[in-house]
Amino acid sequence: MSSYRLPKGGRVDRAKPLDFTFDGKPMQGFAGDTLASALLANGRQLVGRSFKYHRPRGILTAGAAEPNALVTIGEGGRTEANTRATLVELYRGLTAKSQNRWPSVDFDLGAVNSLLSPFLGAGFYYKTFMWPAAFWEKVYEPIIRKAAGLGRATYQPDPDSYEKCWAHCDLLVIGAGSAGLAAALTAGRAGTRVILADEGFEPGGSLLSETAPVGGKPTADLLANIVAELTDMPNVRIFSRTTAFGWYDGNVFGAVESVQKNTATVNPNQPVERIWRIAAKQAILASGAEERPLVFGGNDIPGVMMAGAMRSYLNRQAIAPGKSTVIFTNDASGYATAADLEAVGLNIAAIVDSRQDAARTWSGKARILAGAVVVDANGGKSLKGVTVLNSGRTETIEADALGMSGGWSPIIHLACHRGAKPVWSDDKAAFLAPEKQEGLTIAGAAAGIGSVEACLADGAGKAVAALQSLGFSNATTAFAAKADTATVSKPLWRIHGSKGKAFVDYQNDVHLKDLGLAVSEGYGHVELAKRYTTNGMATDQGKLSNINAIGILAEARKVSPADVGTTTFRPFYTPLSFGALTGASKGKHFQPVRKSPLHDWAKKNGAVFVETGLWYRSSWFPKSGETTWRESVDREVLNIRKNAGICDVSTLGKIEIFGKDAAEFLNRVYCNAFLKLPVGKARYGLMLREDGMIYDDGTTSRLGETHFFMTTTTAYAAGVMNHLEFCAQALWPDLDVQFSSSTDQWAQIAVAGPKSRLILQTLVDEDISDAAFPFLGAKEVSLCGGKLTGRLFRISFSGELAYELAVPAGYGEAIADAIMEAGKPHGICPYGVEALGVMRIEKGHVTHSEINGTVIPSDLGFAKMVSTTKPDFIGKAMLSREGMTADDRLSLVGVKPLDPSTTFKTGSHILADGATPSLDNDQGYVSSSCYSPNLGSTIGLALVKHGPKRHGEHVTVWNDLKNEYTKAVLCSPVFFDPENGKLHG
Amino acid sequence: MASLIACPHCGPRPKEEFTVRGDAGITRPAPDAGEDAWHAYVYLRDNPRGRHKEHWHHTSGCRRWLVVERDTMTHAVYTVTDASAPGETA
Ligand SMILES: [Zn+2]
């Protein structure tokens, strides 16, 4: 048979043919096809090779559990490996490739692995690891990697976009089969906010392939009516192509929506996939049930298919499974498939039913072999026939298709994502999850219900109960209560007497003997057996295989499946693409970029930028002819100390502090005194952690009686804000104090150097002479003849006469331009954080290189700043601990090489002169270092035992990483202008 | 970890908007409470199985510090109150 598509019937739209390719071969399907159904329609049953043994494999299911039909979709950056052909909606221009085959799926050299199969059994990986490690790495792993595996990811970037969204509803219904539709309809009619999520491209679930009438009416009409009514309800949202993949705390569900995975022409303005986080007040899990395969020899030969899948392909896409079909079942659903096949005139060679009392109600043509089993399916790349064991005699039946049904397992994954354990039910012959958990009710086939009418009633009734718990008392069931007419058969876990390999886990090539081996070798516990055999791993996570494996382990251990139990269900229910998980957080959107209001000013002045956290800060400003960063930095430093420089300091954290208790509050969060700071003055402050270590430093100015302006270091801006808020809200809520971060509101410009006052005075309307505006002055000023108001601070990090001028962010560039213009005759230059760093080291000013979480104020020479009179401040109590007063604490000291032509690196350790390099002899370490163009030498700040008492002592600076030793001398950390003459100039 | 926190000021918000500081069941001692009290406050923490009060900061929301009482085992959130509320002061 070249085409398996029947001339009429099904839900496909024959007026809309869709061209696609499989392994490069052009094919055609219809709108309404999945890739799997379209491949079947084109006579393509063999679609892949198995993981270990490279056995030919065909399409086994029609849904999410598909273990075999994994294909690679798309080209280039859109290549997507391991997609289940059963879930791929066919579209025009789709390109699909089979996987794990070489050179082709029809002729695969890797199939030689089948000959090696004795070596690839259960525990193979573990046993092989016992061999010499080199043997594994050089011999086995490369061979296995080449021979075993799934599809390959592309190395090209994904050109598409993805997004993440929130959704909220009263009732979330997961699954749009009979129970889900009934629940959604019930809740929709009650006027509640409903989300109905379903993985298919068309709502209906198993109703889409149901032919039996419901309540005397054709199923298709019932389905169409429900969907039409739901679609018209403004309070109901139907999310098609949306798989709910996890249930999380707070009754939040994760779902992934395929937005544009069904087209070859992607609209770049829309995401291709969208992750939803759905906050549901109540939810109903109506995820249906999974049909179990039967475990007999050759149950993986292409042509063997789940009976329910066969029925789905027949009724939805008008696909005939073959010319002659055998049904092997221990359950009523095999008969439904047989009846539908016969109804369209297809031949059923036999119905093999393992039950002795089979099929009293069968009225079809096919003969029934009751109490018989298929022991082996025969064939290679396609099914040729089956061997049936019937009352002790074997019989061979020719067939090119075999539909199998081993009963149904409720799909309870999501209900077990938050810790609930599945419980074995002898009545239902299935593992069931607790039917009602807080916020989640299981309905329909997922709750073990069999018949369609009972599922409709169950979904409707459970929706009413869920809504009543939310206070919606007006909800009435859309379908009246109905008893379940379905019967449950005793499970048939395995067939005895098979000659061929009987597969349990298709995707991992785990067969019956592997599980037997696991039990006999002591790995019969369900969790151990999973790891030992790999049953239930890989992309399908054992959706088809787990329950059979549990049953087989139970039989082998001679216990009930209840005693074996299940492995743990964890999100995600089905695999998620990395693209969806990443969402918009990729490329330049991976993290925000923070740019100072003076960024463009710095850029046009030629700045080289450096990333500091999220910020881009100007690092230095090379002039033409300068070839190294050091040349630029040295020039900037020398020019500032001689003339003037301008630097962007806008990235410092800025916090406005208001309230009548603001001064008292600052007095408690700083270790030094702030209560009596006069209005119009700035003060350097040290903030401690509660353990006494310095947390952050900065200047805080009093701009009014009840208004302070705090600056923090760039790195700790957010942390300090959180800390202040904690202190104010959680520790001292009785204090009247409020905070507002204004980091982004102000452009802040440092102007430093002996000519800085001269330059700034041309812009500032007020007198800023030393008398009128002395060191540590802080006040609001008028600029440019009253055109603008700014804040001026006379503070200095460089040790020069210096100011910081803050203006509203939008005016930053204009003011910086004006300062540059005014400074031109005085030789002003822009400078960056490198020059700033050199000048602060020259002055012995500390940063977070020294404030590294291990230092207390006295370690940095700030002992006198710590108030002894304040009753309390953060860190006070712990500062008096024994270790904090030890006299050999690492303390701040300067260090410079004896020979200025030698140098050392930050992080190097200090050894006493002549001491053997060892950690025992370690005296401390260099915390900051740079080349000082003013001293013509490398200089450093170091934290050294007894540091302040050792000025003048010769030491060795030891860099063990580079095996470098530099003779050096300890000295005052203030290398430049120790009298602060320039600062007060 | 809860997915949603019902901020008393902002309503239910995703947990990503919050920053967890830790145990809210401890009270900052008086400055002269002595070394043992301070050592316990700064360094010693219970790690309870079950109900636990913690300080959560609504960092990307109202910026209030909250006391969240939650179950470390079931992740259920029992109460969320403002940290400045009477009886919650740390
Ligand atoms: Zn809030």
Residue A605 has a pLDDT of: 98
Ligand 1 centroid–CA A215 distance in Å is: 52
Burial bucket for residue A734 (CB in 10 Å: 0-12, 13-18, 19+): exposed
Residues 6+ apart with CB under 8 A from A596: A602, A615, A616, A617, A648, A650, A651, A747, A812
- Give the confidence band of A2 by pLDDT, cuts at 50, 70, 90: very low
Burial bucket for residue A383 (CB in 10 Å: 0-12, 13-18, 19+): buried
Do residues A718 and A646 both lie within one domain? Answer: no
Do residues A2 and A79 both lie within one domain? Answer: yes
Do residues A4 and A111 both lie within one domain? Answer: yes
Pairing of strands B11-14, B4-7: antiparallel
Q: Which residues of A560-597 are buried (b: 16+ CB within 10 A; e: fewer)?
A: ebeebbbbebebbbbbbbebbebbeeeeeeeeeebbbb
Do residues A759 and A639 both lie within one domain? Answer: yes
Dump strand ranges (E) for A116-271: 162-174, 194-197, 236-239, 242-248, 252-258
A726, A733, A872: residue with CB nearest B31: A872
A454 touches A485 (CB < 8 A)? yes
Q: What is the ipTM of this complex?
A: 0.98
- Work out the angle at residue A174's Cα, subtended by the Cα atoms of residues A170 and A179, and round it to the nearest 5 degrees: 100
Residue at a domain's end among A422, A454, A469: A469
Do residues A99 and A36 both lie within one domain? Answer: yes
Q: CA-CA distances (angstroms) from residue B76 to A559, B4, B69, B71?
A: 36, 10, 9, 5
Chain A environment of B74 (Cβ under 8 Å):
419
Residue range A576-599: mean pLDDT, rounded: 93
Domain of residue A943: give its range. 887-985
State which residue of chain A sits closest to B72, comparing Cα positions: A249
Residue at a domain's end among A692, A719, A741: A741
Chain B environment of A729 (Cβ under 8 Å):
64-65, 82-84
Cα separation of A184 and A980, whole Å? 78
Q: What's the whole-model pTM score?
A: 0.89
A359 token code pair = 């099929």
Do residues A185 and A256 both lie within one domain? Answer: yes
Chain B environment of A251 (Cβ under 8 Å):
3
Residue range A224-231: mean pLDDT, rounded: 98
Q: CA-CA distances (angstroms) from residue A953 to A651, A842, A950?
A: 39, 19, 6
pLDDT digits (tens, 9 = 90+) for A692-739: 999 999 999 999 999 999 999 999 999 999 999 999 999 999 999 999
A252, A729, A876: residue with CB nearest B64: A729
Chain A environment of B65 (Cβ under 8 Å):
725-726, 729-730
Domain count, chain A: 7
Domain count, chain B: 1
Residues 6+ apart with CB under 8 A from B16: B60
φ and ψ at A185, to 5 degrees? Answer: -65, -45
Question: B20 in a domain, yes or no?
Answer: yes
Cα separation of A535 and A517, whole Å? 13
Residue A1 has a pLDDT of: 41
Q: Write the CATH number for B47.
A: 3.30.2270.10
φ and ψ at A882, to 5 degrees? Answer: -50, -50
Ligand 1 centroid–CA B83 distance in Å is: 12
A219 touches A181 (CB < 8 A)? no
Do residues A39 and A5 both lie within one domain? Answer: yes
Ligand 1 centroid–CA B87 distance in Å is: 19
Dump strand ranges (E) for A209-346: 236-239, 242-248, 252-258, 273-285, 289-291, 304-306, 324-329
- Residue A326 bridge partners (DSSP): A350, A402
Burial bucket for residue A975 (CB in 10 Å: 0-12, 13-18, 19+): buried
Cα separation of A423 and A195, whole Å? 29
- Residue A958 bridge partners (DSSP): A909, A965
Q: Considering only CA atoms, which of A678, A714, A698 is closest in space to residue A797?
A: A698
CB contact under 8 A, B89 and A878: no
Ligand 1 centroid–CA B7 distance in Å is: 5
Cα separation of A315 and A309, whole Å? 10
Residue A129 has pLDDT above 60, yes or no: no
Cα separation of A748 and A394, whole Å? 92
Chain B environment of A250 (Cβ under 8 Å):
2-4, 12, 77
State which residue of chain B sits closest to A733, comparing Cα positions: B84
Do residues A15 and A137 both lie within one domain? Answer: yes
Question: B68 in a domain, yes or no?
Answer: yes
Q: Which residues are near ligand 1, the ion (C-beta closer than 5 Å)?
A: B 7, 9-10, 58, 61-62
Residues 6+ apart with CB under 8 A from A594: A613, A614, A615, A616, A651
Residues 6+ apart with CB under 8 A from A587: none
Hey, is the C-beta of B23 within 8 angstroms of any chain A C-beta?
no
Give the SS3 label for residue A397.
strand
Question: A282 in a domain, yes or no?
Answer: yes
Half-sphere exposure in the Cβ direction for A806 (13 Å, CA):
23
Residue A124 has pLDDT above 70, yes or no: no
A614 token code pair = 């999220």
- Residue A709 bridge partners (DSSP): A656, A701
Cα separation of A776 and A799, whole Å? 13
Q: Considering only CA atoms, which of A517, A492, A514 is closest in space to residue A503?
A: A514
- Give the confidence band of A116 by pLDDT, cuts at 50, 70, 90: low
A590 touches A614 (CB < 8 A)? no
pLDDT digits (tens, 9 = 90+) for A649-663: 999 999 999 999 999
Q: Following DSSP, what letter does each residue of A841-858 receive, concatenated?
A: HHTT---TTT-SSS--GG
Do residues A422 and A356 both lie within one domain? Answer: no
Ligand 1 centroid–CA B52 distance in Å is: 20
Question: B87 in a domain, yes or no?
Answer: no
Question: B90 in a domain, yes or no?
Answer: no
A250, A690, A722: residue with CB nearest B3: A250
CB contact under 8 A, A726 and B65: yes
What average pLDDT does the structure give for chain A?
94
pLDDT digits (tens, 9 = 90+) for A827-861: 999 999 999 999 999 999 999 999 999 999 999 99
Secondary structure string (H, E, C) spanning A880-901: CCHHHHCCCCEEEEEEEECCCC
Question: A850 in a domain, yes or no?
Answer: no
Q: Write the CATH number for A515.
A: 1.10.10
Cα separation of A834 and A819, whole Å? 21
Residue at a domain's end among A546, A564, A582: A564
Cα separation of A932 and A275, whole Å? 54
Unique residue bearing structure tokens 């096919």 = A366
- Give the confidence band of A215 by pLDDT, cuts at 50, 70, 90: confident
Ligand 1 centroid–CA A475 distance in Å is: 34
Cα separation of A863 and A829, whole Å? 37
pLDDT digits (tens, 9 = 90+) for A379-391: 999 999 999 999 8
Q: CA-CA distances (angstroms) from residue A276 to A84, A185, A257, A268, A576?
A: 21, 22, 7, 20, 12
Domain of residue B20: give its range. 4-82
Residues 6+ apart with CB under 8 A from A886: none
φ and ψ at A140, to 5 degrees? Answer: -75, -45
Peptide bond into A268 cis (omega under 30): no
Q: Considering only CA atoms, which of A790, A799, A516, A770 is closest in space to residue A640?
A: A799
pLDDT digits (tens, 9 = 90+) for A41-65: 999 999 988 888 889 999 999 999 9
Do residues A647 and A661 both lie within one domain? Answer: no
Residue range B62-74: mean pLDDT, rounded: 95
Do residues A191 and A267 both lie within one domain? Answer: yes
Residue A126 has a pLDDT of: 60
Q: Write the CATH number for A402.
A: 3.50.50.60
Cα separation of A412 and A962, whole Å? 60
Do residues A110 and A48 both lie within one domain? Answer: yes
Unique residue bearing structure tokens 């052009």 = A26
Residue A40 has pLDDT above 50, yes or no: yes
- Give the confidence band of A127 by pLDDT, cuts at 50, 70, 90: low
**Closest Cα in chain A, distance from residue B26 (Å):** 11
A453 token code pair = 């009418």
Cα separation of A95 and A38, whole Å? 12
- Give the confidence band of A106 by pLDDT, cuts at 50, 70, 90: confident
Cα separation of A135 and A392, whole Å? 49
φ and ψ at A592, to 5 degrees? Answer: -70, 155
φ and ψ at A39, to 5 degrees? Answer: -65, -45
Question: A872 in a domain, yes or no?
Answer: no
Identity of residue A599: H
Residue A114 has a pLDDT of: 65
Cα separation of A199 and A934, whole Å? 71
